[in-house]
Amino acid sequence: METKNKKNTILIVDDEPMNIVVLTHILKPDYTVYIEKDGMSCMEAVYELMPDLIILDILMPTMSGFEVITALKNDAATKDIPVIFITGLNSSKDEEKGLKLGAADYISKPFSPAVVKLRVKHQLQIVNQMRIIYKISITDELTGIGNRRYFYNNLEKEWQRAMRRKDPMSFLILDIDNFKYYNDTFGHLQGDIVLKETAQLIEKSLARVTDKAARWGGEEFAVILPHTDLDGAKFVAEKIRAAIDEHVFSTEAPGSTHITVSIGINCRVPNHASNYTLKNFVSDADKLLYRAKATGKNKVCASMEE
């Protein structure tokens, strides 16, 4: 689900080159550091990078740090990213204002390297601890991939992102064919083996880190494909279907080494002006899955097809 052992990422936003040089020198040995020089660029970068922490100057032209944090905290996709303000302001009212707007901490100028390191380390320890707790809550215990909660969280974020960018996104829902019969015939332990190996095959078929797979429930799985048109989604779906069809599943029971899946695909470009909702998007993919099952199984059915 997430890449292990990655450095935490920090976005530094400051219009003063010397501040950027100093902060980068202090933090770069331990973290992956990105730089922006104004509030507007910061907002664009945040959606691209989704950093673990933002270090934000208060006094900037065009868009102040207070305006930036207000926008961040009002967006569900960015509201949980901690923000540390850097400032030369000594007014307690300014500090109070920043904390009320959701700032996690303050670093005063001129910078003390030790203080910068400790304040950043403290915030990122909280981020990493919360991430561990969250990961446990969104992981399917049997297969080790994301669960339905994990999937819906990512689906909502990608839907909103696709709407902002006016990009296509695709959604795959997969169901193991005749799984009840398989479980009844070979037993639930063998069924669990099939679920685990199916999850692994799906994940191996996804080429990009932005593509997300999860166990939808029971013998159903789902995949989000951001920035993917219908042809691209059909290519991925067929790759998954073929990989499962050709796979020899681990077993000690003769005749239980082969299964197939049916897949429904929906592809849309989300639009604020449209009445077509995320709920419709998921529901239509589910209908296409059942069309695949009703018309022969071990096949892919996609939206925009008769």
Domains and CATH numbers, the chain: 9-136 (3.40.50.2300), 148-302 (3.30.70.270)
* Secondary structure element (H or E) that encloses residue 35, with its range: strand 32-36
pTM here is 0.67
Give pLDDT, residue 304.
Answer: 55
Could you give the CA distance from residue 165 to residue 69 in angstroms, rounded to a whole number? Answer: 22
Could you give the CA distance from residue 9 to residue 68 in angstroms, rounded to a whole number? Answer: 19
Give pLDDT, residue 88.
Answer: 80
Give pLDDT, residue 5.
Answer: 62
Could you give the CA distance from residue 120 to residue 113 in angstroms, rounded to a whole number? Answer: 11
Which of 297, 140, 298 has the alpha carbon at shortest distance from 217? 140
User: What's the half-sphere exposure (Cβ side, CA atoms, 13 Å) at 234?
Assistant: 11
Give pLDDT, residue 1.
Answer: 53
Could you give the CA distance from residue 34 to residue 25 in angstroms, rounded to a whole number? Answer: 12
The segments of the chain whose pLDDT lies below 70 read 1-5, 304-306
Q: Which residues pair with 261 in a beta bridge?
A: 176
Which of 84, 279, 62, 294 has the alpha carbon at shortest distance from 175? 294
**Three-state DSSP class for residue 36:** strand
Give pLDDT, residue 3.
Answer: 45
Q: Classify residue 23 as exposed, middle or buried by CB count within 10 Å of its CB (0-12, 13-18, 19+).
A: buried
Token look-up 């303000």 returns: 85
Active site residues: 219
